[in-house]
Amino acid sequence: MPDILRLERVSKFYEPHIRALDDVSFSVEKGEFLFVTGPSGAGKSTLLNLIFRSERPTSGEIFFEGRPLSSYKRSEIPHLRRQISFVFQDFKLLSQRTVFENVAIPLEVLGLPEAEIRRRVFTVLEQVGLSGRERQPVRQLSGGEKQRVALARAVINRPRLLLADEPTGNLDARRTEEVMEIFEELNAQGTTIILATHDEALFVDRHRRVLVLEEGRLLNP
């Protein structure tokens, strides 16, 4: 399988002397489900932010589908973000809006016809087990349901790479299992996933590659 993502000696320092990531190199194959773990402050979120291009590395280079992220112009970032989706621990949903409206946002941005948007939203909501909840305002949902809405929004435009930063951090064990099942299903359909978590229970017995970060350094490159 070809690489979808490659990091070459990536470091990120914050002033004055914070070393968030130090000389990190690894690659991710297309269709892989990769876990990144480590204690709080190990650099997991920084790593995902660099891949998402919301931050730039201090040194080193990140390649997405063979193209260095540093070569993306500002005007190209929105297009990059249509290929890389992000699932956040705090969901980042519009609580006043309905489930349908939240999930439809990426498709509206793409300017798809309304009928196509409706069709795809209904399909993805069925996939994440939220059929019939389209008109419900997000504020009325439980944490697990909110994360499923966030997941639906993240995958609705069929991204090539899905990043998830502690996606189960706010969920109880049952909801965590539900969400992880959806991740597995998405991966089975071909979506490449990088999931950052400090919770070992998420990747134990899943037989997936796990990268361990500690104080910004990769312990098992």
Partner 1 sequence: MRLIRRAFSEWRTAPGLHLASTLVITLCVAIFVFFGFIYLNLDHFSREIARELVLNIYLKPQLSQEDIKDLETSLLQRAEVAGVRYLSSSQVLEELKHLFEDQTLLEGVEPSFLPPVLIVSFKDPFSAVKNLPELAASLERHPEVEKVQYARSWLVRLSGLRRFLELLSLTGLFLLGWATVLIVGLTVRFSLSERREELEILSLVGATPGFIQVPILLVSALEGMVASILALLAIFLVKLYLNGVLKGLFPSFTEGLVFFGRLEMGILIAGVVILCLLGSYWASRRYLRY
CB of 92 to partner 1, least distance (A): 6
The amino acid sitting at 94 is: L
Among 4, 24, 28, 93, binds partner 1 (CB under 8 A): 93
Regarding 137 and contact with partner 1 (CB under 8 A), the answer is no
What is the C-alpha separation between 147 and 99, in angstroms, rounded?
A: 11
Regarding 81 and contact with partner 1 (CB under 8 A), the answer is yes
Q: Report angle CA 14, 67, 84 to the nearest 5 degrees.
A: 70
* Residue with smaller CB distance to partner 1, 193 or 210: 193
Those residues with Cβ within 8 angstroms of residue 7's Cβ, 6 or more apart along the chain or in another chain: 24, 25, 26, 27, 51, 60, 61, 62, 63
Among 56, 67, 70, 77, binds partner 1 (CB under 8 A): 77
Task: State both tokens at 100.
Answer: 């349908």
Segment near partner 1 (CB under 8 A), from 4-12, 79-87, 128-136, 198-206? 79-87
Site residues for partner 1, 157-216, by CB under 8 A, read: 157
CB of 52 to partner 1, least distance (A): 8
CB of 102 to partner 1, least distance (A): 8
Cis amide bond preceding 159, omega within 30? no
Regarding 40 and contact with partner 1 (CB under 8 A), the answer is no
* Residue with smaller CB distance to partner 1, 86 or 203: 86
Those residues with Cβ within 8 angstroms of residue 159's Cβ, 6 or more apart along the chain or in another chain: 82, 83, 84, 85, 191
* Residue with smaller CB distance to partner 1, 33 or 52: 52
Q: How far is CA 171 from CA 21, 128, 174, 206, in A?
A: 28, 16, 8, 19
How many residues interact with partner 1 (rule CB under 8 A)? 22
Binding site for partner 1 (CB under 8 A): 74-75, 77-82, 85-86, 92-94, 105-106, 108-111, 114, 153, 157
